[in-house]
Amino acid sequence: MLDQKQDKSEILLAWYDEHARLMPWRVPPEQRKLGVLPDPYHVWLSEVMLQQTTVAAVRDYFVKFTQMWPTVGDLAAADDGDVMAAWAGLGYYARARNLLKCARVVAYDLGGVFPDNEAALLKLPGIGPYTAAAISAIAFDIPATVLDGNVERVMARQFGVMEPLPDSKEALRKLAASRTPQNRAGDYAQAVMDLGATICTPRSPRCGVCPWAQGCKGREQGIAPQLPKKRKKAKVPTRVGVVYVARRNDGALLMEQRPDKGLLGGMMGWPGSEWAETEAEQNAPMNADWRSLPETVRHTFTHFHLHLKVMIADVPSDAAPFRGVFVDRERFDANALPTVMRKVWKTAAPALVETGQDI
């Protein structure tokens, strides 16, 4: 007779066999049962991309990256600027910088082979407890406790955990471990995440079709939609800044590479001021007849809202900036810019067109 842990895991795995989501980095359960495991490079890449990003947003990026850099060695040898440009739009650019660092450690120090245990994976750049557990389970079928937001929600509801996050995180980890089976660890890890993403959803859990409905304390007590509880968030502050878009009369645009550390580290963008709680001194990148646009560019990062004043100028072909470099119009690609910089361009471009030069 199955114990409760085996019973629960087998019920979930049976559900997963029928309802597993199809993803370009995933090996379907019917193939895993035949011993086919995914490429650890694909698992690692997808997990890094999925941090604080939706599956829908990641699919196309994953396909693009694996087409451009099919192996971890290819990625390790890639130009930093090309990788950052390919990452543009995914946000949280520290992930892209760590992606390159990790790829190079694996390629050059580990012979292109990812470690098959959590302890060794945790030593790699950009890999924390969740990612290490996910790679161990999904890529190597090692029983590891995978705890992302979906799993936290499922466990809080299953066990009726009333303590709010993040205080309850360790308790939820232990509860998740209590259900992690020794066999089919990779399928189980993905099954719990799929359950949270498609059935045990944040606002309207579909308890009527949940394979784990029986015995779920959150459902029995009628409080599933309220779990997990979370501490009240602090008010998100607003920062302001000024950004400068200069176009030379041959169509070249003044760009600047941001420092490697900090937000948008290493990315190309428009020169501008510091982002602060009060308006900083306007430090224009060159002498020009700067004009202020009436529209403010607004963007929200994880920890603050940003409001940017946009200044534009048309300058002669011999213009000499104090900082930044002019990028030929043919080489300029707005899609390679981070999202906030694309918003600036979307605001500035029509105003530059109005001056009479086609861009």
On whether the 238-354 domain is CATH 3.90.79.10, my answer is yes
Exposed/middle/buried for residue 316 (C-beta within 10 Å: 0-12, 13-18, 19+): exposed
Can you give the residue ranges of every domain in the chain? Answer: 4-226, 238-354
Rg (CA), the chain: 24
Give the pLDDT confidence score for residue 355 in this predicted structure. Answer: 53
| Tokens 């007590």 -> residue | 221
Predicted confidence at residue 359, as pLDDT, reads 45
Are 45 and 53 spatial neighbours (Cβ–Cβ below 8 Å)?
no
Number of Cβ within a 10 Å radius of residue 222:
8
Q: What is the pLDDT of residue 6?
A: 67
Partners of 307 in beta bridges: 240, 298
Q: Which helix (H) or strand (E) holds 50?
A: helix 40-50
4-226 CATH pick, 1.10.3330.10, 1.25.40.10, 1.10.8.60, 1.10.340.30: 1.10.340.30
The CA distance from 154 to 146, in Å, is: 12
**pLDDT value at residue 2:** 43
Catalytic: which of 10, 18, 30, 47? 47
Sign of CA dihedral 11, 14, 20, 26: positive
> Is 47 part of the annotated catalytic residue set?
yes
pLDDT along the chain (359 residues), means of 10: 70 97 96 96 97 91 98 97 89 88 98 96 96 97 95 98 96 96 95 97 95 96 96 89 94 90 83 87 88 95 92 93 93 89 94 60
| Residue-level pLDDT at 1 | 36
Strand partners for 165: 230
Q: Is 346 helix (H, G, I), strand (E, B) or coil?
A: helix
